[in-house]
Amino acid sequence: MLTKTDHNIRYIDTDATLKELISQLSYTDDIALDTEADSLHHYFEKVCLIQISSDGEDYLIDPLSSISLTPLFDILSTKSLIIHGADYDLRMLRTSFGFRPKAAVFDTMIAAKILGYEHFGLAALIERFFGSIITKQGQKSDWSQRPLTPMQLDYARNDTRFLESLAQHMRAEMAKVNRCEWHREACQSMVISTGKDTVRDLENLWRIKNSGECTQRELAYLRELWHWRDKEARQIDKPPFKVLNNQKLLAITIWASATSEHIFDEHTPIPRHMHQGRLGRLKTAIQKAATLPEGHWPPLKKSIPHKRRFQDNTPDIDALRKASTSIAKKLSIDSSVLAPKAALASIIQKNAKTLEEIITHGPLLPWQAKLLEPALNRIVAAREERERLKNILSDDPMPSSPPPVTDVTST
């Protein structure tokens, strides 16, 4: 029989307790869900805990135990799931267990953004609606360790126990401002994206932040050192930053490329605590980069300046961004929720005109495209008028000035 821990949580780590949980879940429609993984502590990240809340009861399922979770995922796939920031959890569950939801997913973070909340973290929402302050203590702990501490149990429980009530409040708020369909479209798009395999650019994984400022010679060192670090992390099953963080990796890169001597003394940026075996392999990586012929150095990443890239359409991009910002302000949402800047530039660059083209070339969701369509129509009309006048003027010996770009912020 399911028994509660001292923290009023039902802990599931046997087939018998899991079977009873599944029986209870069969009578409910909505299930709050969350996961905890160990990416901050291991190279090969995995789901270490699955939290579920339903009908006022809280459960913690231990995927590191010997139980088979197939029956659990079979029933979860048929239920409406409530998750905060669902994209990460759904990707992890798909990668680890092949889980894909078949019913609707209600993402409370997406709902908060669509409602225009300034703070949309779970703790902020819980305080907003229920006046409860939940601690983040335990968030970065190693969830692969057993037994879990009382602090971890409390933290894990709080991730789901408020979600059912939170979703009810937010559904009501979205209904008042006619944004339920916006939310449905956004959640559906998110679920679809989590079902796709991420294509990793294997040739450029090593290009870390600020590497764009490196010379070609420095990139040769950086690439070799990145692969050295990655191999070290794999061997000890630790995140790469626990071997060497990016800032130190760049420092060693710049130092190593600036000298041919490579004297490893107290003046080098190499951490003093690095053990001899790892240090020896690091030295080998540096020497390998040092002897690499110039023809084999990585190419500099071509970066086209933004204004140059859209030189012919810059006024239209600015006009659409201005219109988007104005629309978002009237709706009391962040402009990025309506449309990211890159999407607006893409719409102009690809000469989108129809609603379907806005959706495709943004890409944007239908609700976003419908809000932007009138402004884009005015921009397109103004552009075509400028082109018409330009053609006329090209045949007219009398000079004349074309009309300014139309202000499209009015709706």
CATH code where residue 371 lies: 1.10.150.80
> What are the distances in angstroms from CA 195 to CA 156, 184, 198, 202, 373?
25, 17, 9, 21, 29
- Residue 157 and residue 74 share a domain: yes
Burial of 260 (0-12, 13-18, 19+ CB in 10 A): exposed
Look at residue 5 and tell me if it is in a domain: no
Place of tokens 């409910």: 28
The predicted pLDDT at position 30 comes to 96
CATH number of the domain that residue 167 is part of: 3.30.420.10
Which H, E and C letters describe the chain, residue by residue? CCCECCCCCEEECCHHHHHHHHHHHCCCCEEEEEEEECCCCCCCCCEEEEEEEECCEEEEECCCCCCCCHHHHHHHCCCEEEECCHHHHHHHHHHHHCCCCCCCEEEHHHHHHHCCCCCCCHHHHHHHHHCCCCCCCCCCCCCCCCCCCHHHHHHHHHHHHCHHHHHHHHHHHHHHCCCHHHHHHHHHHHHHHHCCCCCCCCCCCCCCCCHHHCCHHHHHHHHHHHHHHHHHHHHHCCCHHHCCCHHHHHHHHHHHHCCCCCCCCCCCCCCCCCCHHHHHHHHHHHHHHHCCCHHHCCCCCCCCCHHHHCCCCHHHHHHHHHHHHHHHHHHCCCHHHHCCHHHHHHHHHCCCCCHHHHHHHCCCCHHHHHHHHHHHHHHHHHHHHHHHHHHHHHCCCCCCCCCCCCCCCCC
Look at residue 408 and tell me if it is in a domain: no
Look at residue 202 and tell me if it is in a domain: no
| Residue ranges for the chain with pLDDT beneath 70 | 1-7, 302-313, 395-411
Tell me how far apart the alpha carbons of residues 244 and 94 are, in angstroms, rounded to a whole number. 30
- Residue 387 and residue 268 share a domain: no
Residue 261: count other Cβ atoms within 10 Å of its Cβ: 6
- Residue 161 and residue 119 share a domain: yes
- Residue 277 and residue 244 share a domain: yes
pLDDT in tens, 251-302: 999 999 998 877 777 778 998 889 999 999 999 999 999 999 999 999 998 6
State which residues form the domain around 250.
211-296
- Residue 103 and residue 60 share a domain: yes
Look at residue 2 and tell me if it is in a domain: no
- Residue 348 and residue 242 share a domain: no
The predicted pLDDT at position 407 comes to 64
- Residue 227 and residue 108 share a domain: no
The predicted pLDDT at position 198 comes to 77
- Residue 176 and residue 41 share a domain: yes
Provide the number of structural domains found in the chain.
Answer: 3
- Residue 219 and residue 178 share a domain: no
The predicted pLDDT at position 303 comes to 52
> Where is the domain boundary, 296, 330, 345?
296
Tell me how far apart the alpha carbons of residues 84 and 152 are, in angstroms, rounded to a whole number. 18
How is residue 379 written in tokens? 């921009």
- Residue 67 and residue 36 share a domain: yes
pTM of the model: 0.88
- Residue 310 and residue 280 share a domain: no
The predicted pLDDT at position 309 comes to 46
The predicted pLDDT at position 305 comes to 46
- Residue 184 and residue 141 share a domain: yes
CATH number of the domain that residue 280 is part of: 1.10.150
